Structure 1
Amino acid sequence: MDHDPGLTALSALGGFFVLRTGRPAHGEPPTLAEAYAARDADVEQEVYANPVIFRVRKVARSLRAPEPRVAASIAHLGFAARLWSVALGSVALYGRVPDLDPRLLRWDADASAPDELWLTEARGLPAERIGEIVRDGHLVPLAASLRAQLGLSERLLWGSAASALMGAVRQIDRWAAANGRTEAASRARAAATDLFAHPTLTGTLDPVTRRRRSCCLYYRLPDGGLCGDCCFDRPPGTRSRRGPRA
């Protein structure tokens, strides 16, 4: 990472792993620290007033979500995947994790990956700090914001965080196998094993199948269906389900 301050190597893993560095190309979006703290309800037209709720409403319009809770769940899952991907991808390729302090990371809630996130100062930290950086620095305050404003279940949110982490691991595995980088996959899996041992993620996935034990509500979208790791065998209301509802 010290020899790649622009984190350009991450692009090989896919667009979700890319993190822009320096100053944003257009405007000055708020930091994630400001986004997590925002509670302004009048956000229909102003992306910077409350970026979290703005993103939820954007997802709701795009996916025709039937209720805010569904859109919030899908938005959270995507954002958790972005954060885990950037951090775990860095561990895999550099053996270090970027300092993603919410005060350093700017977020344009109206943009899509990879242009929504900008790290104003790139510096590497020990890989062992990935949980502190992503889980404690981002997922905890993001969950608090969504629970306070939209009443999402804590169990649902941590289930989605676990699913997003496992998704990043699988993508790194695929890339490593295709490119002969087994050491990168090993670093990512070792970091993920430690992360899953933390109380917030322990028990969120089935230890054998890696299917989650809660539902992200994607099936409630029009023609949404089930995710590959869903706790249900079929959408609720059709036939028997495998696990509990969120």
Structure 2
Amino acid sequence: MAMATALSESVTGLGPFFALRIHPHGTEPGGPWQPMSRPLLEERVAAVGERLAATGGRPPGSVETRVAASVAHLGLAARLISPALAAAVLHGKVLAPGLTELRWQPVIGGPIPLSLPDSALVDSPAGPPTSPPERLADELSTRLLDGSLRELADEMGEFSVSRHILWGNTASALNGAATMITTSRPDLATPTRTLTSLLLARPPLRSTTTSAAGGAFRRRSCCLIYRAAPDRKGALCGDCALAR
């Protein structure tokens, strides 16, 4: 538990999207912490849709469910992948709980509070920070991308969001996490970008991205958020496939 707590403190120091709490395996953190149940995911999609409608000056219920679900998924994927990438880069550890193991507070606005069991780290060591990045990428691909992130994609796919979009969201979240790490810690730029590139080259993220002019990151899909604006004419994200 002490090792997991120390890791969470160093990861949290990178910023709010990396913040996490650690609770003992087999216990419940209590209070406002909740399992990521289907009813709560449904409530979150509905709440995100209402927030998008209000932000765009549209009436309640006017945002397509799949648009709200995609935006909700992107935020959740970012919260799962950001601390995991940081733990791998900082400590050479794999932080990959099953979706049913983690606890969250489904607040709207800002990064979602996240609590993970200590077993998510202790049972998944990938070696010291000097471990070959290929080994870390293999571990993260198996335990995270094909673990909780695939489980999350399965859940959010029930809202009529295509897998192409969901894995594009995941790739975008990964790139966003890498950008935040390298901004906060320029000294970690090389290992962060190396590991990120290796993950993007592995299934299920392979073929989800391409490069824009100058080598900038560009996804091959769209998160659909532009459709939440009036007349579906909202601004596009900087890494969107529709951006020119």
SS in 2 for 1:118: strand
2:46 aligns to what? 57
Task: Give the 3 Å change call, closer, same or farther, for CA 17–146 of structure 1 in structure 2.
Answer: same
1:41 aligns to what? none
1:68 equivalent among 37, 57, 65: 65
Q: Is the 8 A contact 1:89 1:172 kept in 2?
A: yes
Give 1:111 deviation, angstroms.
6.1
Aligned Cα root-mean-square deviation (Å): 2.3
1:186 equivalent among 181, 190, 195: 190
Structure 2: unaligned runs, 5 residues or longer = 54-61, 127-135
Task: Give the 3 Å change call, closer, same or farther, for CA 112–63 of structure 1 in structure 2.
Answer: closer
Normalised TM-score (structure 1): 0.77
- 1:137 equivalent to 2:126? Answer no
Give 1:16 deviation, angstroms.
0.4
What is the distance in 1 between the residues matched to 2:143 and 2:236?
Answer: 30
- 1:89 equivalent to 2:86? Answer yes
Q: Is the 8 A contact 1:104 1:121 kept in 2?
A: no
Task: Give the 3 Å change call, closer, same or farther, for CA 217–194 of structure 1 in structure 2.
Answer: same
What is the distance in 2 between the residues matched to 1:83 and 1:158?
Answer: 14
Task: Give the 3 Å change call, closer, same or farther, for CA 165–79 of structure 1 in structure 2.
Answer: same
Give 1:24 deviation, angstroms.
2.9
Q: Is the 8 A contact 2:4 2:22 kept in 1?
A: no
What is the distance in 2 between the residues matched to 1:51 and 1:158?
Answer: 22
What is the distance in 2 between the residues matched to 1:163 and 1:80?
Answer: 9
The structure with the greater share of residues assigned to helix is 2
Structure 1: unaligned runs, 5 residues or longer = 39-49, 234-241
Cα offsets for 1:55-111 (capped at 9, x unmatched): 111111111161111100100111111111010011122221224233431133246
Q: Is the 8 A contact 2:96 2:140 kept in 1?
A: no
Q: How does 1:68-217 map to 2 (within 5 A)?
A: 68-110=65-107, 116-122=113-119, 123-124=121-122, 125-126=125-126, 127-128=136-137, 129-147=139-157, 149-177=158-186, 182=187, 184-207=188-211, 208-217=215-224
Give 1:113 deviation, angstroms.
5.6
